[in-house]
A and B are shown apart, each in its own frame.
Chain A
Amino acid sequence: MRLILNRIFLIFSTFAALVGLFFLGWILFTLCVKGLSGLSLDVFTKDLINGGLRNVIVGQMMMSGVATMIGIPVGILAGIYLQEYGGNSKTTEFIRDLSDVMMSAPSIVVGTFVYAIVVVPTGHTTGWAGVLALFILMVPIIVRTTDDMLKLVPIELREAGIAIGASKYHVTMNIVVRYAKAGILTGILLAFARVVGETAPLIYTSGSSEFWSTDLTDTFPSLTVSIYNLATMPDDNLVQLGWTGAFLLTAMVLIINLLGRYSGKKKRS
């Protein structure tokens, strides 16, 4: 009896794994078939208004990129503070907990917040508003990975730095952060991958545009928002373009993720 139950359980568990993987495989399969069939040079050379995706891909990368550029120093500094200066005080723990909570906060709420403080006063959607929303989403991720990675740095290394007469600042920047560099880089890449695929916080902060633009003070082209718009169009060609965009977006996110993993692995060897 026990053995039969055991067998049933093992079969169920394997079956559950297969069902779960089946759906995920189905999604990837669809994405590849639909996405690849629409892939052509035009996608990368023409803007959305002419049936390509060039402007929205560049727009998405630009907003995510700028958000990352601002997010990196802020997030790393905050992580350094938590690990190197904050000690184990109540405040430090509190900020850690808040970052954890913010990491899982609904991204649409961040969108509404930015809408209220940027779009309502200025009266229109701007690239900067999108950047701000993505920045808010990624900072807690960078804070917590930096914090965790610095925690792995052996305490003896800090003491050795102090023992040759380095100040705390020097020990932190030149020894501790350098030691944890690979891990922090992984965190940044994963945070970037996370925000580059965000749609909800961009819909009414950056909006999206069909035209080429690098002016962040105006409505800005966004790949994800465009996919959302294209997919609900009654025109099959536009829906096809949406699939191509979805394929490219997923490929982008997965590649960045793999890069992040690779850079993290290298360090540990």
Chain B
Amino acid sequence: MATTGKVVGIISNLVVVKVSGPVSQNEICYINHDAVKLMAEVIRIGSENAYIQVFESTRGLKTGTPVEFTGHMLEATLGPGILSKNFDGLQHDLDKMEGVFLQKGDYTHPLEVDKDWSFKPLAKVGDEVEAGSWLGEVTENWIAHKIMVPFKFKGDFKVKKIVVAGDYKIEDTIAILEDEDGNEHEVSMIQKWPVKVPIKTYKNKPRPAKFLETGIRVIDSFTPIVEGGTGFIPGPFGTGKTVLQHALSKQADADMIVVAACGERANEVVEIFAEFPELDDPRTGRKLMERTTIIANTSNMPVAAREASVYTAMTIAEYYRSMGLKILLLADSTSRWAQALREMSNRMEELPGPDAFPMDLPAIISNFYSRAGFVNLNNGETGSVTFIGTVSPAGGNLKEPVTEATKKAARCFYALSQNRADSKRYPAIDAVESYSKYLEYPEYVDYVSKAISPKWVDNILEARNILVRGRETYEQINILGDDGVPIHYHETFWKSEVIDFVILQQDAFDKIDASTPIERQQYMLEKVLNINNTKFAFEHFEEVNPYFKKIINVLKQMNYSEFESEQFKKFEKELGEIINEKAVVETKQI
């Protein structure tokens, strides 16, 4: 019999329950409040009381209210129909809820129980299978959604029976599996999995090496991310974290995008709701929403569900990874999740760590990041979950606990700079401060020298150097004055400005400039590196600024033009003429 209990204490959304039987840590329970069931999770257990965090407002709740325990942890429901959905943090379908306002206890089914899916078997009777093996597939939007042996199944199984191709509902039995002891197990198209436990039905997890194209020049060309990589974007408010995440979700080369809007503004999710069904995915020509799933727990939604929302999102991403797909998971923002942990820790009167965050925060964060990765599946296919989280450092100070803990866990660091944002140099990623550890992976260098160009990594490092040198020279000029430094100081500085204006800065709101394919990035990077390697003859430092502004202006017009179009070539020719005005030809060829 299921354990029951009675409410004996209420402090905001922390409720104390006197229980009648066994309960487990992180078990889900429901409070029967005024004919409405409020979902809650056990977060601490005392001698006869369980402390539960309620995923709803507890207004009006009284002591003595009965509580039912479910015997399982918070689980995600996995099956066809997840794609294109808008869920809340607990995977309830937001679109199925009635009315304009969220009502307490309005828990909707994440999938469609009545919908027919055209199932095609992949396994045959007699096949040896294990958790995660592909039994069949249905077409979901355009993805071949694999129906797998439930991840909870332990050991080896034999396919005893599998249905023929045809239309089935998600709860229909599509296969019967026999375990080693001869017991039969029915399998349907859906399965449940506890969100806080990683799905590990893969063979191994090698170091990631495949370049993941995002169309954002400062990322692809300077601080690249890989399939199965991890990155994070810390930045003070107003530096463009969300615009950057939206750009990633629109342009990144992935089969599926999972967006966890965790404790951020509701209007930002609305922007996705409004735009994604309209926008085309440049790679497939389909609507962006067809490859996107949104987990929305915005800042005004119950705080306790915020923590759950990132785990729900990760579980969904891992589920699709097991089908051999390339998933990009974006979470905005992990700081809000950490704050939710802090609120609960505070209510439970735990001894606080730095800035009143719980002591185990760094462990929680690195555990979560470690769930991303590139995997080899047991059947020889590969899949990946790439995770990029934003961090909202308090006061813009990168020394705060969430940023520090994340820095240890993530391999790419995209530092957004207040100065760049103030001078409207967007995206405000500071290319010098930011880094990508993947540039140091020999596997990565190998991969891009074949996939992009043998010179690619060298070019990146050279461009980076120019930026560093430009920054140093700028400081010199500021200290010594415009006429206190040799003219070539100005030249060095302005050459770095060319890279800044033409490569680093990108107009996220311009149709063409918003996304730059890698061939074009490579072309333009070579172009600016050539300019950098050209010597110019200047008489006076006052000529330097207007001259390079002209160069930048023409290069920017190129960025705004269709690649290799008439217009593009016209500007390119104009650029050649401007360069010839001042370029010093050192060695005459021929």
Partners in one complex: no
Q: A residues near B, CB below 8 A?
A: none
